[in-house]
Structure 1
Amino acid sequence: MDLKNGKEIAIFAGGCFWCTEAVFLELEGVDSVKPGYIGGKTEFPTYDEICSGYSGHAEAIQIVFDPVKITYGELLEIFFATHDPTTINRQGADVGTQYRSEIFATSSKQKELAQAYIDLLNSEKTYGKKVVTKVSDAPVFYVAEEYHQNYYNQNKEKSYCSYVITPKIDKVRTAFKDKLKK
């Protein structure tokens, strides 16, 4: 989706949204990252409804980015490098449909790029297993409750953050150092 100021929106579901939000907040050209819920049947879902698995929604992030500073293709590369796209409804210890790997395209161009990237990963056998990430058209995105916003940066001392999220951020800082905010 193109915004009036030349910015675009990308929406990724790659497990826990605290993890994905923290990773993408590090990147130059990313203006904002909002954790939320997408792809289910419940209108205006709550975190408890998502955790039950019955809403059908995935935990996801909505990224507003400047395609002049960081391309959608670069965002895809970082998305795939920071979660396991070969497991269905699971990321590490987080299990359930709410933790699925899915890309919610906001344009036909994004949908084509995402599918082509998945096809490339599979043809090159990048993960040794098939990438199961689904590519869908983006339905309504529901922003998560306020206490989920910028969760990692406000809770670094919590064990989940230090054991699960910090290693992902360290990976991004090492592998994508040329893409980091100054």
Structure 2
Amino acid sequence: MRTEILGFSGGCYWCMEAVFRSLRGVMKVLPGWITPRDRVMVDSVLVNGVLTESVLVWFDPDVIPIESLVAIHQLTHNSSSSHVRRSRYPSAVYVYHGEQYCAVEKALNELALQNDNRNHVQALQHRQASLSQPTAISAPVTHSPQIASSTRMVSPTRMASPARMLSMTQILMIRRFTSSDPGMHDYYYANPDRPFCNAYITPKLSRLLTHYRELVPDDKQTVIAAQQAIKNPKK
């Protein structure tokens, strides 16, 4: 068994801890704060010595590769510039050496390419949908301002623009990690009924199950499913 360590930030450490603790091949997750060697981009300004809420993740790359960890991190937090608390939660992956840096960079580039392709397909679909509705498109502005306004909204560029928000995820070298209070570790799985867990963490884990169920052990799936049932009871 091989062991590697990566750090992640982009949201509260309880959320990230729960996500990574839910994965096969992850041996240990510690919530805390990372100080990177590099300057961190905060509100478009490079800042030195930033102490960032984060998690350290010990994992076996033969079971879960770096590419999967990076993809899951991007799936379960908002890495775009639209995050209203981006200055507090900078989106980043923290590495220890150049080989990790290259692997993370490759993973992020591949995800960006996939998103670009997906956006292109969505734009074509929106365009095709608009062309299949000649009545709305040809409606004169003078006859129906409301129809004309809605027609302008089917522009492929405008419809796809939310999905085109650029990822702000940085790749940074770790300088120092400070663990949080041990009494606060394993926050979700120690007591998943907490209101914070139901409001913020369970939805992220639900997303994880939707896209990466095969990477989540059965015991974790059982806990998540139970919380999903509480959050969304059947009528």
Kindly provide the amino acid, as one letter, of the partner of residue 75 in structure 1.
L
Distance 1:73 1:81 in 2: 12
Matches within 5 A, 1:143-154: 143-154=179-190
Alignment gaps of 5+ in structure 1: 42-54
What is residue 132 of structure 2 aligned with on the other side? Answer: none
- Comparing both structures, which one devotes a greater share of its residues to helix? 2
Shift of 1:26: 0.8
Shift of 1:163: 1.0
What is residue 122 of structure 1 aligned with on the other side? Answer: 112
TM-score w.r.t. structure 2 length?
0.63
- Return 122-131 or 102-111, whichever deviates more: 122-131
Cα deviations by residue, 1:76-110 (Å, 9 ceiling, x for unpaired): 1111111111137x4x6xx2633111111122122
Shift of 1:38: 0.6
Shift of 1:37: 0.2
Residues 6 and 95 in structure 2, CA contact (< 8 A), matched pair in contact too: yes
**Is 1:142–2:138 an aligned residue pair?**
no
**Is 1:61–2:51 an aligned residue pair?**
no
Cα deviations by residue, 1:109-152 (Å, 9 ceiling, x for unpaired): 22112222223333443642111111111111111112320111
Residues 13 and 54 in structure 2, CA contact (< 8 A), matched pair in contact too: yes
Alignment gaps of 5+ in structure 2: 38-48, 119-162, 219-235
Given the superposition, is the C-alpha separation of residues 132 and 40 from structure 1 closer, same or farther in structure 2, using an over 3 Å criterion?
same
**Is 1:101–2:91 an aligned residue pair?**
yes
Residues 58 and 99 in structure 1, CA contact (< 8 A), matched pair in contact too: yes
Which protein has the larger Cα radius of gyration, Structure 1 or Structure 2? Answer: 2
Residues 34 and 149 in structure 1, CA contact (< 8 A), matched pair in contact too: yes
**Is 1:158–2:152 an aligned residue pair?**
no
Shift of 1:40: 6.4
- Give secondary structure in 1 for the equivalent of 2:110: helix
What is the aligned-residue RMSD (CA, Å)? Answer: 2.1
Tell me the matched-pair count: 161
- Give secondary structure in 1 for the equivalent of 2:192: coil
What is residue 45 of structure 1 aligned with on the other side? Answer: none
Percent identity, please: 27
**Is 1:74–2:68 an aligned residue pair?**
yes
